[in-house]
Amino acid sequence: MIHRTRREFLKDMAVTAGSAAALTLAPDDSHAASREKAMPRRVLGRTGVRVPVLGLGMAPLGSRETSFAEAEALVNHALDRGIRYLDVSPDYGNAEDKLKIVLKTRRDGTFLVTKVNPNPQDRSGVQRQLENSLRRMGVDHVDVVHIHNLGDFDMGRLFTPEGAIAGLKEAQKRGLCRFIGISGHMRPARFTTAIQTGDIDLAMVALNFADRYTYDFEGLALPPAKKHGTAIVAMKVLGGARNWAYNGKTPATLAEYHARAIRYSLGLPGVQAAVIGFSNTAEVDAAVEVVKGFQPLSKTERADLLREGQRLAKERGLYYGPVTG
């Protein structure tokens, strides 16, 4: 099982990175449904952790329009269907609080990710943010902490001795997190800069067939990630919720391209997983079926989809915010 106490975690930090088998994410065999046909798994870069390629994004479930019971049922359903990667943030409404009841019995076998935000973004401030997240979720550590929406951080301070990265490294030594990541969907050149420092274990970036023409995380984040062994997790695979309405009810902007969009993002060289925000169990099931039958797009399918993406990119414009700055 991947879940360990903080003491066990600190002890394991002394083990060499060559012991990748110790980092393998084991399935949760306590639920019969988890023994169905397994989802494909990939290794998250230099972390050595092998995870199913589909992750659950908690943003839609943090809405006040989604009850605790509804959120609990959806997360349990996702876990039963083989999803193990859970992505949350303190600014996803009360999503961290909603995860607590599930994690109380099902932390083992999950790969848990949360984030720290730009305010405050100093060494002590990001640690306080993480401590509060752990308290809300009722756990003693997470697997990854992302610098959330890197484009909003002060890049001049980020890697200083009193900056956010130094704070997360200290949190790592304290056993509060295993790995350090960055996430975001705008100002892609900043991700190149951050990854090239060698300090980033995992990057979650916007990767879909339309926004590639505007933000080009494919060209700017994937090459340095490959060089440094940084894992890449795709987000905004379906373009994000319409009008940014993460209320557990609103469909994604690229929902009509559902299967091809998922296949596109997971077919990009260097992408290890895709995180999708689900609003209901039907959406979970649909994505799981695409992933379990995953085949990369054919040359013809890819060319057709990219032509459509080029058209959509003009309509979407700067959907996520600025490209530069």
Amino acid code (one letter) for 104? K
Amino acid code (one letter) for 281? T
Q: Is residue 272 part of a domain?
A: yes
Instruction: Return the residue matching tokens 């109380």.
Output: 104
| Dist CA 318 CA 322 (whole Å) | 6
Query: Three-state SS for 194?
Result: helix
pLDDT, one tens digit per residue, over 261-277 is 999 999 999 999 999 99
- C-alpha distances out from residue 28 to 10, 23, 85, 98, 149, Å: 23, 15, 12, 20, 31
Instruction: Return the residue matching tokens 């839609």.
Output: 60
Range of the domain at 154: 6-316
Q: Is residue 97 part of a domain?
A: yes
The pLDDT value given to residue 250: 82
- Arithmetic mean of pLDDT, 153-171: 97
Q: Give the whole-number percent of the chain exceeding pLDDT 90.
A: 84
Q: Which residue, 307, 215, 217, 227, is CA-closest to 260?
A: 307
pLDDT, one tens digit per residue, over 217-230 is 999 999 999 999 99
For residue 211, what are its two tokens? 């926004």
| Dist CA 197 CA 211 (whole Å) | 26
Q: Is residue 235 part of a domain?
A: yes
Query: Model-level pTM?
Result: 0.89
Q: Is residue 324 part of a domain?
A: no
Domains in the chain, number: 1
CA distance between the termini of the chain: 42
Q: Does 120 sit behind a cis peptide bond, omega within 30 degrees of 0 on the bond before it?
A: yes
Count, residues in the chain: 325
Q: Is residue 269 part of a domain?
A: yes
- Arithmetic mean of pLDDT, 105-110: 96
For residue 131, what are its two tokens? 């401590």
What average pLDDT does the chain have? 90
The pLDDT value given to residue 180: 98
Q: Is residue 279 part of a domain?
A: yes
* Exposure letters 163-201 (e unless 16+ CB within 10 A, then b): bbbbbbeebbeebbbbbbbbbbbbbbebbbebbeeebbb
Q: What is the DSSP letter of 141?
A: -
For residue 254, what are its two tokens? 């690229």
pLDDT, one tens digit per residue, over 79-89 is 999 999 999 99
What torsion, rounded to 10 degrees, do the Cα atoms 238, 155, 270, 299 define? 50
Q: Is residue 323 part of a domain?
A: no
Amino acid code (one letter) for 211? D
Q: Is residue 325 part of a domain?
A: no
Beta bridge partners of 144: 113, 179
Q: Judge contact between 209 and 257, C-beta under 8 A.
A: yes
CATH number where 154 lies: 3.20.20.100
